[in-house]
Amino acid sequence: MADGSEPRPTLAIIATALWGVLLLPGLLGAALSPMFFDAPGSMANPAAWANALIVVSFPALCIVSIAGTWIAWLWRKRGPRRLSAAAQLVVAGLPLIPVTYFIGAIVVQTAGVLLSGQPLGLHSTIIRH
C-alpha cells in the first residue's frame, strides 16, 4: 500500500461469507442440473448443455473464488511485487459470470413473453374449440 501498511483481508472475508453461503444452494442446483436433459431430444439441444454447464459452474466458481481471493490477498501482502487490488476483485467476482448469464436469460425470456402478444399466465395454455 502507498502508506506502507499491510493490506487488510476485507475483500477476502466478504467473498468467503457471500460465496460460502451461496455455495449450498449452488450445490443443490448442480445436483438437479441433469433435469435439463429429461425431455426427449434434449441431449442434442445445445441450450440444455449450456444451461447445465452454467448451473454446474456456479458452485465450482464459488470455491475457486474463495480460495483465489485468499491466495491473491496473501500474494498482495507478501509478494515482492504486490498484486493489485483489481486482480483480487476479479478473482472475487468470478461467480458473477453465471449469475449475470442467469439474470440476462430471465430478462430476455421476460421480454419475449411480454412482446409476444399472447395473454400472460395460464390463459395462453387454454385450448379453444
Where are any strands of DSSP class E within the chain?
A: none
Per-residue pLDDT of the chain (129 residues; tens, 9 = 90+): 555 567 789 999 999 999 999 999 999 999 999 999 999 999 999 999 999 999 999 999 999 999 999 998 888 877 666 667 788 899 999 999 999 999 999 999 889 888 887 766 655 555 555
Q: Amino acid identity of 69?
A: T
Distance CA 26, CA 94 (A): 14
The full set of domain ranges for the chain reads 10-125
Q: What is the distance between the alpha carbons of residues 99 and 121, in angstroms, rounded to a whole number?
A: 26
Q: What is the pLDDT of residue 11?
A: 92
Note the pTM of the prediction, 2 decimals.
Answer: 0.78
Residue 61 near residue 97, CB atoms below 8 Å: yes
